[in-house]
C-alpha cells in the first residue's frame, strides 16, 4: 500500500529542510495516503482498550486516549515511521549522525484538554540540547484544537533552556508569531523539537475528538522510550533500522503518558462485559447449589 501521497513524495528534501530550518516547521496538506490512515484506524479499533486481555491495549487519561504501543499492533503505522522519505529527511537533518525513534503514539484529544505551551527537546521532563524532529499527522479533520507553533521559536528557546511556558508570557511576547494548523485527515506537520508549540484548547465543541499520530526522532542513540515491536513487521534488519528502533540500547525514558487505574475515567470501566461478569459472580455466590443444579438441568434439557 502507498504510504505517502504523490504530492508529498514530489516535494524536494531541500524544501522540507529549509522550511524547518527557517520557520521551525513544515506543513503538508494531504501528505499521507487515506487508505493507510483507514488501516491504522482499524488497527487502533481492534486494540483499543481491554482489561486482562493478553495483548496490547490503549490507555485513557482524563481528557485523552493513547495507543502508545502501536508498533506492537499496526503494521501500517510501522510502515509509515520506517518509510524511505522519513529516513531521507532524518539523514539530512541529523547531518549524518545516528538517530533514534524516541516516542510514538496514536492519540485522541477531547474537548476539555488543556495543553501548556512547551518544547519537546527533553528527557524525562528535563531540557536537553538534543536535535530532534516530530511528525504529527491528522487522522481526522481538525477545525478546532489544532496544532500551533511559534514561528522561529526553535532558534531562541535554547537561550532560556525552559521547556514550559504559560499563556500570559506567550500572549505578551509572541502572539504575532503564533501559526495555527487547522487541517484535514492526512495532513502532516514536521517540526523542530526546540520550537514552542501546543494543541490549541478546544473552545467551540466540547464533544470534539481530534485523532492524530505522533512520532519523534532524536539525534543520537542514547535516549528513547521503550518500544514494544511486533517482530513480524520487520522483514529486513540492517544497522540503520536497528539503531532507529533502539535495538540493544537502553530505553532511558518513561513511556508517555504515565497511567494506571486512577487515571481511567469511570465510564470506560463500566461496560457490558463488566456488568455481565459482576452479575455472574453475584448469582454464583447468592443462588444456593441445589437451585443452580435445577437451573442447569433445565437449560441442558
Ligand atoms: O497534539 C498536538 O497538537 C501537540 C502534541 C504535542 O505537542 C506533544 O504531544 O508533545
Ligand atoms: Fe509537544
Q: Where are the beta strands (DSSP E) in the chain?
A: 25-28, 59-60, 64-67, 99-110, 117-118, 122-123, 126-127, 132-138, 142-150, 164-165, 178-183, 188-192, 197-199, 209-219
| End-to-end CA separation in angstroms for the chain | 53
The number of the ligand 1 atom at minimal distance from the alpha carbon of 256 is: 9
Query: Minimal CA–CA distance to 99: which of 90, 88, 109?
Result: 90
Q: 261 CA to middle of ligand 1, Å?
A: 24
Answer yes or no: do 209 and 297 share one domain.
no
Ligand 1, atom 7, residue with closest C-alpha: 198
139 lines ligand 1 (CB under 6 A): no
147 lines ligand 1 (CB under 6 A): yes
Counting as low any pLDDT under 70, the low residues of the chain are: 204
> Is the same domain home to 253 and 276?
no
Torsion of CA 227, 232, 237, 242, to 10 degrees: 0
Residue 250 lies in a domain: yes
**pTM, 2 dp:** 0.93
| 12 CA from centroid of ligand 2 (Å) | 26
Same structural domain for residues 152 and 298? Answer: no
In a domain, 82, yes or no: yes
DSSP string, 241-299: HHHHTTTTS---SPPSS---GGGS-GGGT--HHHHHHHHHHHHHHHS-HHHHHHHHHHH
Residue 85: predicted pLDDT: 98
pLDDT score, position 166: 93
Cα separation, 119 vs 15, whole angstroms: 23
pLDDT at residue number 274: 80
β partners of residue 180: 148
Q: Domain count for the chain, please give it.
A: 2
Residue 249 sits in the same domain as residue 282 = no
Residue 294 lies in a domain: yes
Same domain, 125 and 32: yes
CB 2 within 8 A of CB 79: no
Question: Do both 295 and 199 map to the same domain?
Answer: no
Per-residue pLDDT at 294: 85
What pLDDT, on the 0 to 100 scale, is given for residue 59?
98
Looking at the fold, whether 234 and 179 belong to one and the same domain comes out as yes
CATH number of domain containing 180: 2.60.120.620
Distance from the alpha carbon of residue 56 to the mean position of ligand 2, in angstroms: 24
212 and 284 in a common domain: no
Q: How far apart are CA 84 and CA 190, in angstroms?
A: 15
Pocket test for ligand 1, best of 63, 64, 68, 115 (most atoms within 8 A of CB): 115
135 and 284 share one domain: no
Let me know if residue 226 belongs to a domain: yes
Q: Is residue 1 part of a domain?
A: no
Say yes or no: 177 and 290 in one domain: no
pLDDT of residue 204: 63
Residues 116 and 100 in one domain: yes
For position 11, what pLDDT does the model report?
A: 98
Residue 299 domain boundaries: 271-301
For residue 125, being part of any structural domain is answered with: yes
**In a shared domain, residues 115 and 151:** yes
Amino acid at each position: 500500500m502507498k504510504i505517502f501521497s504523490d504530492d508529498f513524495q514530489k516535494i524536494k528534501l531541500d524544501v522540507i529542510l529549509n522550511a524547518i530550518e527557517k520557520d521551525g516547521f513544515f506543513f503538508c496538506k494531504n501528505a499521507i495516503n487515506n487508505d493507510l490512515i483507514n488501516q491504522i484506524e482499524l488497527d487502533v479499533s481492534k486494540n483499543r482498550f481491554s482489561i486482562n486481555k493478553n495483548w496490547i491495549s490503549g490507555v485513557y487519561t482524563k481528557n485523552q486516549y493513547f495507543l502508545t504501543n502501536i508498533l506492537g499492533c499496526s503494521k501500517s503505522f510501522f510502515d509509515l515511521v520506517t518509510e524511505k522519505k522519513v529516513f531521507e529527511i532524518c539523514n539530512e537533518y541529523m547531518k549524518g549522525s545516528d538517530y533514534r525513534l524516541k516516542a510514538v503514539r496514536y492519540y485522541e484529544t477531547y474537548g476539555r484538554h488543556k495543553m501548556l505551551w512547551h518544547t519537546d527537546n527533553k528527557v524525562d521532563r528535563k531540557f536537553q540540547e538534543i536535535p530532534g524532529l516530530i511528525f504529527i499527522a491528522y487522522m481526522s479533520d481538525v477545525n478546532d484544537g489544532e496544532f500551533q507553533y511559534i514561528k522561529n521559536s526553535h532558534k531562541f528557546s535554547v537561550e532560556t533552556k525552559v521547556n514550559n511556558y504559560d499563556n500570559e508570557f506567550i500572549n505578551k511576547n509572541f502572539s504575532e508569531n503564533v501559526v495555527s494548523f487547522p487541517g484535514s485527515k492526512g495532513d502532516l506537520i514536521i517540526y523542530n523539537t526546540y520550537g514552542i508549540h501546543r494543541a490549541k484548547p478546544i473552545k467551540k465543541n466540547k464533544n470534539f475528538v481530534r485523532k492524530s499520530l505522533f512520532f519523534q526522532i532524536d539525534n543520537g542513540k542514547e535516549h528513547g522510550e521503550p518500544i514494544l515491536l511486533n517482530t513480524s513487521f520487520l522483514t529486513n534488519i540492517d544497522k540503520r533500522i536497528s539503531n532507529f528502533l533502539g535495538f540493544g540500547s537502553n530505553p532511558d525514558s518513561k513511556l508517555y503518558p504515565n497511567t494506571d487505574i486512577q487515571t481511567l475515567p469511570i465510564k470506560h470501566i463500566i461496560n457490558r462485559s463488566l456488568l455481565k461478569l459482576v452479575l455472574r459472580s453475584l448469582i454464583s455466590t447468592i443462588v444456593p447449589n441445589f437451585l443452580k443444579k435445577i437451573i442447569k438441568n433445565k437449560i441442558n434439557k
